[in-house]
Amino acid sequence: MTKTTANLADGREIVYFDQAGSDPRISLDLRPLQTGATPSTVRRDPATGAWVTIAAHRQARTHQPPPDRCPLCPTRPGRLSEIPCADYQVAVFENRFPALAAAPAAGSAGPDQGFTGPPSLRSQRPGVGRCEVVCFTPDHGSSFADLTPARARLVLDAWTDRTAALSALPGVAQVYCFENRGAEVGVTLAHPHGQIYAFPFVTPRTARMVEQAGRHRSATGRNLFEDLLAAERADGVRVVLAGAHWTAFVPFAARWPYEVHLYPHRRVPDLTALGEPERAELPVIYLELLRRFDRLFADRERGEARSPTPYISGWHQAPTAGGGELALHLELFTIRRTAGKLKYLAGVESGMDAFVNDVSPERAAERLREVAS
């Protein structure tokens, strides 16, 4: 892998990742962009203890532009984009409209003037962290599932590099690499891409997993995630796909109609700890999973694919400190519950975080096995 770093017109960093032997064609960013700090804050919910990011400036971010104005395509004559080169393989750059940034605006988390209650009710601080965009391919009309194993491996190498770099930044508590695909899940740019968030706090879902792992350790003396993976592999009814180093399964208490968790057989805390055998096998396993998701709702009688399956896919990694019990794993799910129907969160789900699944995990796993390549 070749890694090349440059800067965009407003000072943001862009990093190009190319397969060994490739020469990135990098040009200067000629756009008239102004530098500026990000006016975001993180506020602690006193009722739950969860941190919430307030980033009102993101209302102005680019929303569903036409293909000829896509900011993630390579730069062309007369069309300057976020990627100032004629071609690229994988490109990672700081988000132009980040929820979190290294340089917060002055006074972005100043004191709550006039508040006389307990300080614990008004805990806030600048939204310091980092948000990056990961472009998987210059091909606007493709998707991650269309990548070759070699290109998917390059994306994995980019995720790993950025996890190491962002985890080392002061104040970063957790790094989350993820992809949202489809307008149905709120994607604002159709070009195949993902994101990376370097949070200044441990996210609520991760905090709950770490807490549960601690309880399991106290009760059994064993690691929760090792036991969970061993149980699913032994049972087998919810296993979707297994290799020599990875197993994908539908979780016993899946929240979403089609939800798959992918674990390495060897417990590691994050992407940087994967060994070469695990890294070599992952692209093949992951691409097969994504392609099965796209075949889930195809018209089997006509042999036609319906609209691409919307999904969210993210790597759950241990916090940079104090999360040694958590195991690296990927969680992939779609909000589509059947052809032409989406899983909208009901009141008990949005309001109480109490999920009701319309598809049994066992049937979901069976269906995902049926659509194998």
Burial 190-229 (b: 16+ CB within 10 A, else e): bbbbbbbbbbbbbbeebbebbeebeebeeeeeebbbbebb
Distances (CA, A) of 93 to 4, 10, 72, 97, 143: 12, 12, 10, 11, 19
- Is 216 an active-site residue? no
Q: CA 174, CA 163: separation in Å to the nearest integer?
A: 9
Q: Which residues pair with 91 in a beta bridge?
A: 16, 135
> Contact, 61 vs 97, CB < 8 A?
yes
Residue type, 350: S
Q: CA 241, CA 238: separation in Å to the nearest integer?
A: 9
> Contact, 32 vs 46, CB < 8 A?
no
Distances (CA, A) of 24 to 5, 16, 99, 146, 320: 10, 7, 29, 22, 32
Nearest to 134 by CA among 198, 203, 76, 183: 198
Nearest to 320 by CA among 178, 179, 203, 156: 203
- What string of H, E and C letters represents the secondary structure of 306-331? CCCCCEEEEEECCCCCCCCCCCCEEE
Residue type, 263: Y
Q: CA 47, CA 336: separation in Å to the nearest integer?
A: 32
Catalytic residue among 57, 191, 193, 216: 193
Which residues does the annotation mark as catalytic?
A: 193
